[in-house]
Amino acid sequence: MKKYLFIYEDMKNRILNGEFKSGEQLPFEKELCVEYETSKMTIKKAFDLLVEDGLIIKKRGVGTFIKDIDMKEIEKLIFAKQFMGLTTSNPEKKVTSKVLHFDIIKATPLIEKQLNIAPESFVYDIHRIRYADDQPIVVEKTYMPIDLVPGLTEKHLEKSLYQYIENELECKIQSSHRKITVRKADDDETEYLDLEKGDPVAVAEQVAYFDNGKAFEFSFSVHRYDHFSAQLIITK
């Protein structure tokens, strides 16, 4: 285990368990160097992660303090941060999929641009409805270059696409770029998501990247408005 991650996890637990309370001052970095038998840089690295989580505040020339916030809220945020796929946003529910179609097509100009591939390359064209506890939550359109995700079958789509990619293909997903917008559901979406005409939907447009920098997925996820929320912490 990396030292700075150990210190990060340890301090996080100490804070969440109430050893340090809201608004309280933490021991100085120098003291913690002794306690954890490490150097200043390593403590700093661990603490910077806690700042990103929104747990603590650092003030140069003064010290480090627990953020003045309800710890239960923070726990939720930290939990939510760990996941990338939309599958996982309802962790305790049973997630299933229904494949509407699964074809190979030539990339349209938009798909070409988003995936940065040659004109008219072949891509998977996937259209799925995803259910949580048998209730429709999201309709997804996904496009992926066939050569980056070989061997894909309808069976994989009924479970988790990301699981196939990470476990069976052993590809590493490094990042994704997401844009969230809002509009009215079209007729198909209204039917698939069991909505009323004119009901709102949240649309997440996403391009996801492997750790070699290649874009492997371009997707639109159309969410039922009553089952969508996105949380983010913005740090200056």
Partner DNA sequence: AAGTGGTCTAGACCACATT
Partner DNA sequence: ATGTGGTCTAGACCACTTC
Among its own copies, DNA, none, what does residue 200 contact (CB within 5–8 Å per kind)? Answer: its own copies
* Residue 28, H or E segment: none
Rounded to the nearest 10 degrees, how much is the dihedral formed by the CA atoms of 145, 151, 154, 158? Answer: -90
Binding window for DNA (CB under 7 A); candidates: 34-42, 107-115, 119-127, 178-186: 34-42
Answer for which of 17, 18, 34, 62 binds DNA (CB under 7 A) is 62
DSSP three-state, residue 87: helix
HSE of 106, CA atoms in CB hemisphere, 13 A: 4
163 binds, among its own copies, DNA, none (CB under 5 to 8 A by kind): none
**3, interface contact from its own copies, DNA, none, CB < 5-8 Å by kind:** DNA
- Out of 42, 89, 114, 219, the only residue in the binding site for DNA (CB under 7 A) is 42
User: If binding is defined by CB under 8 A, does position 226 make contact with its own copies?
Assistant: yes
Q: How many residues bind DNA (CB under 7 A)?
A: 24
Tokens of 141: 């359109």
Cα–Cα distance between 154 and 168 in angstroms, integer? 15
Residue 2 binds to its own copies (criterion: CB under 8 A): no
Contacts of 157 (CB under 8 A, 6+ apart): 97, 99, 102, 126, 128
- The answer to the question of residue 39 lying near its own copies (CB under 8 A) is no
For residues 189 and 98, what is the distance between their CA atoms, to the nearest angstrom? 14
The tokens describing 132, both together, are: 């949580």
For residue 81, state whether it binds DNA (rule: CB under 7 A): no
Q: Are 29 and 7 in contact (CB under 8 A)?
A: no
Q: Which of residues 5-24 bind DNA (CB under 7 A)?
A: 5
Residue 209 in contact with residue 175, Cβ under 8 Å?
Answer: yes
- By CB under 8 A, name the one of 23, 39, 101, 188 that touches its own copies: 23
Site string for its own copies, 137-176 (x = CB under 8 A): -----------------------------------xxxxx
Q: How far apart are CA 153 and CA 99, in angstroms?
A: 11
The residues binding DNA (CB under 7 A) are 2-5, 26, 28-30, 37-42, 44-45, 47, 58-64
